[in-house]
Amino acid sequence: MGEKVRIKIQDREYVVRGSDEREQILRVAAYVDRKLKEISDSKKGLSVDKTAILAALDIAGDYLQLIKEKEDLLAEVNSRSQRLIQGLNRALS
């Protein structure tokens, strides 16, 4: 485990320890805090639990969208690479 890092989420301080670098932990905490604020600002009167669940769903949605975009980009790179290799093979034959 790494060093202890003090983070702040929804005006509450926490001390966490993780395997990531300190700056990455702070970025993640800021992202979670921002998502929680977005949800609580847009849907007044939600309980803390419901706000956390909606934020978690939003974060998971962002994550899954990025995975799909990465997979799409890798497929495109692979396709273009194959076309280039085929073109080079034809040119060299």
39 vs 17: CA distance, rounded Å: 26
Strands (DSSP E) found in the chain:
4-9, 12-17
Residue 37 to residue 42: CA distance in whole angstroms: 8
Mean pLDDT by 10 residues, the chain (93 residues): 92 95 97 97 94 97 98 98 96 93
Cβ proximity of 16 and 5 under 8 Å? yes
Q: What is the pLDDT of residue 21?
A: 95
User: pTM for this one?
Assistant: 0.80
Query: Which amino acid does the sequence have at 35?
Result: K
Question: How many structural domains are present in the chain?
Answer: 1
Q: Which helix (H) or strand (E) holds 36?
A: helix 22-42
Domain carrying residue 15:
4-92
Question: Cβ–Cβ contacts within 10 Å for residue 31, how many?
Answer: 13
Write down the pLDDT at residue 2. Answer: 84
